[in-house]
Amino acid sequence: MFGLIEKVLSKSVGFCEIRVQDRTRRSVSVRNGMLNNANVIISAGVGIRVLRRGCWGFASTSKLDEESMLDVLRQAEIAALRMSEMTKKRVPELDDSKNISLDWIPDKTSNSNSVPIDEKIKLALSIEEKIRNSSKLITNSTTVFDELIDEKWIMTTEDVKVHYALPKPQFYTMAVATKNGEMTRSMQAIGIMGGVDEMFSESSPEAMAEKTAKLAVDKFDAPYAKGGMSTVVLSPGMVGLLAHEAIGHTVEADFVMSGSAASGKIGEKVASEKVTLADAGLNPLKNGYPAGTIPVDDEGVEVQDTIIIKDGIMNSYLHNRESAAEFGVEPTGNARAFSHSDTPIIRMRNTYVKPGTSSFDEIISSTKEGYYLVLPGNGQADANAEFMFGCSEVYEIKDGKIGNLIKNATISGQAFEVLKSVDMVGNDFKWDLGSGFCGKGQAAKVDGGGPTIRCKAMIGGR
């Protein structure tokens, strides 16, 4: 592949970045005892980005022959030149990218790819059956086994030459229970970068099925949370969601330049001194298999463990090469493109809070009243750093003990105010945000995690 890319690259008269991507996605889903889907989707293509007279041009195609790729190069060049005629803004001079040559194929790649389709179907059917047979109240049970295997070749006119392959499997179990016309729903999900064995090493599919069914049934007797400000203890998954949604998006440099709440806050105290928050392309803690793992970004920049907040002080934003040049800093390796037809934009990778010193028991036993939020649901954040997270497994805390299950709840707050209210940080750690995708015009596999933490936030309730 590099030979073909080199031929096309040699025809470029200025900066050019070529990404070839080969993707295989295999999915199996089962609902109520019936195979809902068994699919394999194969896509390949090339995206070419050029910089001419200070303007970007980008074009892409699914045709991977030399003639089509040269056409795409010409289209990208025309787009950049038309932009330079019609717009005033110019891309600042980019720092020289580091001469990087990399061939990175984790040894788990073949593991994920080698599970035959009939075994995947059998597993999805047997786990779905387990959920369904757990209770007569279960009226809908679903399992999904999905894996995405991406292979990329990236070359630029600045001597970047990168090849890597990443397997990213995920597994979901879902249940809906019905009782006297009332319905409840629950879901467990796991997603990693690695093989299928690694995916199930922390939680077996059988355990996921059991928990899914139990949670759906138990919710019938659960009360709603009381709305208002409350002390909340967040699980590692919820902390990952907080780090990603509430902070991570506001520190993406494109969002900062547009005026997000993080703008101008470098060097300012934005969180409790107990909080250190970072975003890493590779796993700095060497535990687990975070799904946002990439060895280099889509501009060919080596990924960093970027410390966003250090001991409560805002330390860095997340950058691509262009924003780094605007801010006069080094790029952090956050330029990502989901598919060959996407332009690289600033995205997170694995966003996390560093562990502290308190044990889980200390955190719970010292909490007089509040809620323990375990299972992250949807999350959204705003320009003013106001966030909203859903949580589908919530317990009340009373007099230092975890009490009754509460129905689904939502927490909200201003991210920096909530981080300033953090008064305990656990010594545990887990990546737990690896299933699904983050959306920002295009999808991205990301992960998030951290220790258990205690803070104050607004609970939506009745």
What is residue 270's three-state secondary structure? coil
DSSP label at residue 76: H
285 binds other proteins (CB under 8 A): no
Q: Least distance (Å) from other proteins to the CB of residue 370?
A: 16
Q: Which of residues 360-379 bind other proteins (CB under 8 A)?
A: 377-378
Of all helices (H) and strands (E), which one includes residue 237?
Answer: helix 236-241
40 binds other proteins (CB under 8 A): yes
> The tokens of 252 are what?
């993406």
Cβ–Cβ < 8 Å for 442, 342: yes
Q: Which of 17, 20, 52, 56 binds other proteins (CB under 8 A)?
A: 56
Select from 5-13, 81-89, 358-366, 421-429 the region that touches other proteins (CB under 8 A): 81-89
Q: Residue 78 or residue 329: which is nearer to other proteins going by CB?
A: 78
259 binds other proteins (CB under 8 A): yes
State the Cα–Cα distance between residues 437 and 462, nearest whole angstrom.
Answer: 30
341 binds other proteins (CB under 8 A): yes
Q: Residue 281 or residue 376: which is nearer to other proteins going by CB?
A: 376
Cβ–Cβ < 8 Å for 123, 269: no
100 binds other proteins (CB under 8 A): no
Q: Which of residues 392-431 bind other proteins (CB under 8 A)?
A: 407-410, 412-414
Q: Which of 66, 70, 75, 135 binds other proteins (CB under 8 A)?
A: 75
> The tokens of 240 are what?
């990952």
**CA 362 → CA 129, 366, 453, distances in Å?**
39, 6, 11
Q: Which of residues 178-217 bind other proteins (CB under 8 A)?
A: 178, 182-185
32 binds other proteins (CB under 8 A): yes
258 binds other proteins (CB under 8 A): yes
113 binds other proteins (CB under 8 A): no
Q: Residue 87 or residue 133: which is nearer to other proteins going by CB?
A: 87
**CA 283 → CA 123, 331, 376, distances in Å?**
29, 18, 21
Question: In sequence order, what E strands does 114-273 have?
Answer: 138-156, 161-179, 182-191, 228-234
Select from 149-157, 203-211, 275-283, 385-393 the region that touches other proteins (CB under 8 A): 385-393
Residues making up the chain, counted from first to last: 462
Q: Residue 361 or residue 369: which is nearer to other proteins going by CB?
A: 369
Q: Can you name the residues that pair with 456 across neighbouring β-strands?
A: 231
CA 316 to chain centre: 19
Q: Least distance (Å) from other proteins to the CB of residue 229?
A: 6
